[in-house]
Amino acid sequence: MASESGTMGRDPCWKYCTPMEGNKNGTICNYCGLAIKSGGITRFKFHLSHTDPNSNTKKCPNVPPEVKQEIRRLIEQRNKAKAKKAVDIEEIRAELRDTMGRRHRHLIDEDDEENLGGDGGGDDGGGGGGGDDDDDGDDDVYMYPADMHPDERHAYREAVRASKAAEWNRQQQEHFIKGKRKTGIILI
């Protein structure tokens, strides 16, 4: 069994079960012989520890109390590690939001009706600015993930605008080169 636990993974609970042949998520309890066909080592831990949060796993009647406590400690450690990871990720996101907010100040508020062209914004630039507003109007429509912070949205918009500008420049250059070729062909 020692060689099996090395091949099945790093989880110490593999020493209390046998993997099912032909089923990578199946386990057979070494104490009661129960075959658990799905759920892998996580569900097997619930079987030994009697702590299934969904009550979907039969409790092992023959597990020694010290093994049950060991498994419970392992589950608790895993849950603490997951919670710490979630907190760390949120701290990193908050730090990024703060950093992005300081570096990228919003000069124009997109939610402001004036800046979206609802008011016009000025009577002396109406003709020339209108054409620019039409071009920029396409850039004002974005779809964001639901959990994206406003400062992240700003950075996202800037990246999309830069990408569109690069694509436009590439197309213009391609168009210019094709035009030169056509002109060259006509002259020859």
The tens digit of pLDDT for each residue in 20-53 reads 999 989 999 999 999 999 999 999 999 999 998 8
For residue 62, what pLDDT band results from cuts at 50, 70 and 90?
very high
How many residues are recorded in the chain? 188
pLDDT at residue 35, rounded to an integer: 94
Q: How far is CA 72 from the centre of its chain?
A: 30
**What tokens appear for 118 in the block?**
């609802």
For residue 114, what pLDDT band results from cuts at 50, 70 and 90?
very low
Query: Number of C-alpha atoms within 13 angstroms, CB side, residue 107?
Result: 2
Residue 28 β-bridge partners: 18, 35
- As a whole-number percent, the residues of the chain with pLDDT over 70 amount to 64
The answer on pLDDT for 108 being more than 60 is no
Question: Which residues have CB under 8 Å from 162's CB, separation 6+?
Answer: none
- Residue 58's nearest CA partner among 74, 88, 36 is 36
The tens digit of pLDDT for each residue in 67-89 reads 999 999 999 999 999 999 999 99
Better-scored residue on pLDDT, 154 or 104: 154
Please, what is the average pLDDT of the chain?
Answer: 74
Better-scored residue on pLDDT, 96 or 183: 96
The answer on pLDDT for 130 being more than 90 is no
